[in-house]
Structure 1
């Protein structure tokens, strides 16, 4: 199975407190995006394409020598659309599967990528890695008052990379109305009526959003 990885790396680093795109923030001396690219390759992706902010392309090219870059959009949906077109357009080698990964999950083990690919090879059209929700989860109203507790036995935290049969992902994005923004690519295919299978995720695939997350990742990277 020929799998191509897409890394969404066009986001800002505002919540992280950085003055550069989050994907270029260093972790143990290397940009977050470089870790994400290496994870996809080690897990089985034959090629990786990175959607980057057009105005920072030079910096991404320096950080990712030999990696194919495409101009990302103002939203995640726009960035994934652009990268998907770049890997499946006319003249591109045949692609069986597409993995969409967040640059902000740099320490995702390659084993997670491999599990997603195995599920796709076994016939799944869409696959996401997940972990159980372990904290008590509640519903609150507009004043912050708890109104209900949500049973957590069936709740899961969704991670990346999310894997898709190439045609399934293309068709789902084609069917998504202009201007509609969903939280991730699994939501895009679910909106098209496609069932999404799950595989086991990994705590090391935690998303880096704020400075505390980056500090924890630094500790993990040093221990690795």
Structure 2
């Protein structure tokens, strides 16, 4: 079956995605910003853009670049094959992730009723997860987050100096906890209102769904995927390389 013979996606509700990629990613060590580190010879940012563009529902991807790296990111995306059905735009970011998401959101034209926010450092999110988030928003949820149950026991502690023993305050009930991933999906009006009205500390919000929660708006979870992990440390990069190699060997992508 050819792509042209597939059913057309719903056109009544248009979806855009914002990828904040303005951070430096210092935990991966010195060098290029985290989003521009290569995975299988291709920058992680390109993998992340392709992952979202793989969804037939996503019509626009806005990449938020480092303020001094917009030209570089535009050239990078132009040099790689991306989705044929999806438009792309690159805008400069801000000093915090929250500022960068707001700038990306402002660049989304009217007519896009659903907005996804996705970490560039989650380059291997499967398209099935992207579609599940979109479908939940289409179904009426104002905010949707993919998430996984926790495998480890979680302790709440009283924070102390780095490297010093920390007293345990409580052992949390693991069955009620989830590790959240991206893309997070939103009714556009809800996300805009959160960015316009919710005040956070000087470092800015790192979780858009958390901002929506502060509005008193319900947030729901859909199943995440183990391959949508965040590449933050060098060991994560090794794991991502292994996942990508397996996908290529089995022709998953």
Quote the offset at 1:108 in angstroms: 0.4
Pairwise CA RMSD: 1.4
Q: Where do residues 59-208 of structure 1 align in structure 2 (5 Å cutoff)?
A: 59-65=72-78, 67-87=88-108, 92-141=109-158, 142=160, 143-177=165-199, 181-208=204-231
Report the secondary structure of 2:69's partner residue: helix
Quote the offset at 1:31 in angstroms: 0.6
The total of aligned residue pairs comes to: 220
Quote the offset at 1:140 in angstroms: 2.5
Per mean C-alpha deviation after superposition, the further-off stretch among 55-64 and 99-108 is 55-64
Q: Where do residues 35-50 of structure 1 align in structure 2 (5 Å cutoff)?
A: 35-43=47-55, 44-50=57-63
- Structure 1 distance, partners of 2:201, 2:167, is 33
Structure of greater Rg: 2
Quote the offset at 1:150 in angstroms: 1.0
- The answer (yes or no) to whether the contact 1:125–1:165 under 8 Å persists in 2 is yes
Per mean C-alpha deviation after superposition, the further-off stretch among 169-178 and 209-218 is 169-178
Report the secondary structure of 1:139's partner residue: strand
Q: Find the counterpart in structure 1 of residue 28 from structure 2.
A: 16
Q: Identify which of 191, 199, 214 aligns with 2:237.
A: 214
| Structure 2 residue runs without a partner (length 5+) | 1-12, 79-86, 248-253
TM-score by length of 2: 0.84
- Structure 1 distance, partners of 2:188, 2:140, is 12
- The answer (yes or no) to whether the contact 1:190–1:196 under 8 Å persists in 2 is yes
TM-score by length of 1: 0.94
Report the secondary structure of 2:238's partner residue: helix
- The answer (yes or no) to whether the contact 1:18–1:25 under 8 Å persists in 2 is no
- The answer (yes or no) to whether the contact 1:3–1:99 under 8 Å persists in 2 is yes
- Structure 2 distance, partners of 1:161, 1:216, is 20
- The answer (yes or no) to whether the contact 1:4–1:46 under 8 Å persists in 2 is yes
Report the secondary structure of 1:182's partner residue: coil
- Structure 1 distance, partners of 2:181, 2:246, is 22
- Structure 1 distance, partners of 2:106, 2:71, is 21
Q: Deviations over 1:163-183 (max 9, x none)?
A: 000111111111123755222
